Chains A and B, each alone.
Chain A
């Protein structure tokens, strides 16, 4: 191995007194003292969450208030720590969303198991499960930290998108049926 020997210069008398170095150090710390602090006063001030942040996974509704999840259970299958448990259910025939056919009867995410990997969000064909900005999660018992469906929708709220995929599907089907008559 090639070694480059750098010759060390002998210290000057001034340097050997160590005083200029001390003064230099004091200058640096004095400058630091005058700078504003970098502390974020946490509970009062909150950090800016960058886009794409993976926070607590939640379920969302579309702007019409329809729950987007169709209980396909892909997220349940993909979840590495098996934190998700879905009980699929039917949608009542008289419901305005009857054409969607399925919705979860119960949807549980065990936040004590969740590893915030985001695979559920990635795999969801309905864009129904999202890892949102919430990064601070606490509870008084283990049960409290198993989020049920109601809690997941409460945390998730509404996703302001305007795909209305199922409504379009229904309209297309109706149009096709209409055309078929003629």
Chain B
């Protein structure tokens, strides 16, 4: 089969191409979830003056010269061992649970996280095609809508467990999600307003929001990351993302000190593993969204991009693609630092009380988000009037 034949084949089988892409993205993100578990253990160890996992290894990996033992020393094999343990454990179903819902809940928790991934842009091909599986104009609205469905997994798990602690965890999870979703949505609107310039197809689209933060793409001269132009939005969004992903200090649905294990008390083995992966998946998505909204996505810096483009375009062979790869690296680096920040916060702050969580959500963040919105509406209104 020659080259044109392959191109033709791919053009005719776009669905196949998308399926392969979906599987690739899924495996990358699930791999990242696994790495997150490793990083979580390492970060907690560093903060607490320990060394963390550094001994686990398996014969096959240990036999690889140099690399094998190094992987073991770094504790990376531990992540595989953790996953394997969850896979091979006995999977008991308690007698008192509501079985259909009990089986459904872990799937409900993980599926939205995976669905959202297909809409995540994580780079740009030469010529301005965003690197994403599914380019939708409703953009992040759809992502928010789907990722919020993740709470159904928690609610179902709590309900199906038929015992009081999981139920309390589930109720808390649902209440918390609703409370913080409001502030989350409102905090993003100023960023959308900033993006909604004439000529922009859809300001809701994540790619448009990213391009707005780069001088080359937006054409605006003082282009800057939204974290600088909309600092309060960024803060509210960050806090809300912590709450949405049920991370410390907002892990109300789990709060193991008062609710045993929260919503997943009755779960074990791989069903628990699915909840676990879903939590880290949501964290990856939350970090990715923050990167796209406020940290300029795959752009290195609002100003440096233009120079980089000049520099790299001299090399005609790799020109565009070098920039794509660089952008991908930049995006992943930002994503990784945010995930690290999530963990850093987790091992620093104690958990809020439930009433404090509600208080922060309804009486602090929501009014603040509304005030922030009004300020920027007036600001952009006046700016447009001139």
Contact = CB atoms under 8 A, between A and B. Distances in A.
A33 B47 contact: yes
A22 interface: yes
Nearest to A31: B47
Given A39-B51, A41-B51, A33 B46 contact: yes
B49 A32 contact: yes
B371 to A, nearest CB: 14
Interface stretch (B287-295, B342-350, B374-382): B342-350
A134 interface: no
Contacts of A39: 49-51
A154 B258 CA distance: 54
A38 interface: yes
A25 interface: yes
A26 interface: yes
Interface in B303-362: 344-345, 347-349
B243 interface: no
A93 interface: no
A144 interface: no
B191 interface: no
Q: Per DSSP, are chain A's interface residues mostly helix, strand or loop, or mixed?
A: helix
Contacts of A33: 43, 46-47, 344
A26 to B, nearest CB: 5
A29 interface: yes
A4 interface: no
A38 B51 CA distance: 8
B175 to A, nearest CB: 21
A35 B49 contact: yes
B348 A25 contact: yes
Interface string A11-47: 0000000000010011011101101011101000000
Contact of A28 (B45, B50, B348): B348
A29 B51 contact: no
Nearest to B49: A38
Nearest to A37: B51
B234 to A, nearest CB: 13
B348 A26 contact: yes
A41 B46 CA distance: 15
A22 B345 CA distance: 9
A33 B39 CA distance: 13
A25 B47 contact: no
B48 interface: yes
A182 to B, nearest CB: 75
A28 B349 CA distance: 11
A29 B50 CA distance: 13
Nearest to A21: B349
Interface string B30-43: 00000000000001
Contacts of A35: 49
Nearest to B43: A33
From B43, B344, B348, B349, residue with most partner A Cβ within 10 Å:
B348
Contacts of B43: 33
Contacts of A22: 345, 348-349
A37 B51 CA distance: 6
Contacts of A26: 344-345, 348
User: Considering the complex of A and B, which 7 residue pairs feature the smallest CB-CB distances, nearest first?
Assistant: A33-B46, A29-B348, A25-B348, A38-B49, A29-B47, A37-B51, A39-B51
16 contacts: A22-B345, A22-B348, A25-B348, A26-B344, A30-B344, A32-B48, A33-B43, A33-B46, A35-B49, A37-B45, A37-B50, A37-B51, A38-B49, A39-B50, A39-B51, A41-B51
